């Protein structure tokens, strides 16, 4: 009988700076001018992000 206790990682070590990736970025796909959120770590918009892999 295995009693698997799900540990909740509720220990956020203090304040961490919000990572931003730049303000004026657009999707790298040609002919796509969708602006990317500064918090979006990818370089493509939602439509052009790779879904596979
Ligand atoms: Zn795009």
Span 2-26, pLDDT tens digits: 666 666 665 566 788 878 888 889 9
Task: Quote the percentage of the chain above a pLDDT of 90.
Answer: 32
Q: Taking residues 24-48, report their average pLDDT.
A: 92
CA of 14 to the centre of ligand 1 (A): 35
CA of 7 to the centre of ligand 1 (A): 38
CA of 16 to the centre of ligand 1 (A): 30
Task: Say if residue 5 is exposed, middle or buried (CB neighbours under 10 Å; 0-12, 13-18, 19+).
Answer: exposed
Look at residue 33 and give its three-state secondary structure: coil
Q: Taking residues 27-50, report their average pLDDT.
A: 91
The whole-angstrom separation of Cα 25 and Cα 35 is: 6
The domains of the chain are located at: 19-53
Residue 36 tokens read as: 């990317």
pTM passes above 0.75: no
């Amino acid at each position: 009988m295995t009693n698997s206790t799900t540990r909740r990682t509720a220990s956020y070590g203090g304040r961490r700076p919000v990572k931003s990736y730049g303000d004026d970025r657009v999707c790298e796909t040609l002919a796509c001018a969708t602006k990317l959120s500064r918090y979006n770590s990818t370089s493509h918009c939602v439509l052009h992000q790779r879904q596979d892999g």
